[in-house]
Amino acid sequence: MASAGDTKQPAALPPETAREVIDPKAYAEWDGLLDTFDRLREEAPVAKVMPETEGLFEPFWLVTRYDDVMRISKDNAAFLNNPRPVVFSFNQAIEFSRAATGSDMLVDSLVVFDAPIHPKYRRLTQDWFMPRNLGRIEEEIRALAHRTVDAMIEKGGEIDFVKEVSGPYPLRVVMQILGVPPEDEPRMQMLTQQLFGGQDADLSGTGMENMTPEQVVQLVAGAVKSFEDYFAKLAEDRRAHPTEDVASVIANATVDGEPLPPRDMAGYYIIVATAGHDTTSASTAGAMQALANDPEQWERVKADRSLLPGIVEEAIRWTTPVQHFMRTAAEDCEVGGQQVKKGDWLMINYVAANHDPAQFDNPRKFDAARSPNRHLAFGAGAHQCLGLHLARLEMRLLFEALLDKVASVAPAGEAKRASSTFVGGLKTLPLRITPE
Ligand code: HEM
């Protein structure tokens, strides 16, 4: 492997490592993957990943150090989201998308745009997602958090925390702000999981292990089409009967004096509908797993609620549900000692960055009192997560309800992570709950 200071073109990562960093199953294993990232940060912090089979995917640079991921995220002029797919994709998937939509991406949304379009689209909903506006819906979310915890306690004893709590709660919040009625939630959940977790046999609903890239992309394309049809009807309704929800903001928005084209409008709904729940769910479940394994920390937070914002932040860092995004270099440049050429593709790996010991002491430890905690789980720069205040609010309110109503929590079986390179985290978390 090339050393960190080497500015020559490096040897590509050995095939077994290259395979691992794009293998959804490696992300389900987690600890082994973190070991690999530890090694890469030391030995090849900006490492070339080449396909073993020609044409399988475009080569890319894997970026694992916190400082490099931060720099790339913040320099939105030098590292572009467009035109290459913003998440890791096989060439077959890109070709399929091109044939189906004329674009390399199946969905056009905020994450696909760069300046000057991106700020115009982002501005449309930015204020809606700021704390001042979210204050309007805080009581509703608090009530939902309490209802969710009450229902969990009523079930009693051993529960799957993901199924009963961390899954449905953020889904309901996002669907509420989009004005999607509760009876349509299971459909939204399934479509989101097909979009993000298409690589996981349980989550995709196919039960199929080892789907080919073509099968995955067909599943994803089907999910996109269903979303588009659903949200076209919703937008029509909100144009006729606007309310204060974010669905109405999007339906009635204009950019440069024109309403959004149908593909962009669908993309806006899809990103809000999908980005907001499996992510928050994964962070919430991860925190509960950590606390169930460490009763002393649970007791400490129960006794001192001032630790709560810290718990939320640490949960988000420790789980890092959005595991990577991709960027394309706009110019020749140097990153971490490597010469990156204009047009090169880069994977900014948030999991690796958030476990960088140069930034976080003992990074694998869940530490409710970690300070400072300047994690990169929400990204940074112009694309930094639009929903970060909502995610923090939801998690704080849920943990307040849990700490009020649950005396103790303990593991009750094997927790399982999703097989996914993009949005990952726990898909089951068996816990034994003892109410107050
Ligand atoms: C973008 C993470 C919750 C909506 C992002 C990005 C990350 C991220 C890493 C890309 C940042 C970048 O490229 O620099 C997370 C995590 C969450 C979470 C870890 C929960 C713990 C939410 C919620 C919503 C949301 C609740 C909304 C309901 C979005 C949107 C974008 C985004 C719309 C695209 C922003 C843009 O490109 O301008 N999120 N997110 N996210 N997130 Fe989140």
Tens digit of pLDDT for each residue in 404-430? Answer: 999 999 999 999 999 999 999 999 999
Atom 26 of ligand 1: nearest residue by CA position: 276
pLDDT of residue 96: 79
226-244: average pLDDT: 94
CA 408 and chain centroid, separation = 29
Atom 28 of ligand 1: nearest residue by CA position: 276
Domains for the chain: give ranges and CATH numbers: 4-435 (1.10.630.10)
**pTM score, whole prediction:** 0.94
pLDDT of residue 364: 98
Give yes or no for residue 386 CB within 6 A of ligand 1.
Answer: yes
Q: Above pLDDT 70, what percent of the chain?
A: 94
Atom 23 of ligand 1: nearest residue by CA position: 276
Helix or strand (DSSP H, E) at 426: strand 426-428
Give yes or no for residue 275 CB within 6 A of ligand 1.
Answer: yes
**pLDDT > 90? residue 10:** no
**pLDDT > 60? residue 204:** no
**pLDDT > 90? residue 292:** yes
CA of 378 from ligand 1 middle (Å) equals 6
Nearest-CA neighbor of 206 among 215, 419, 229, 160? 215
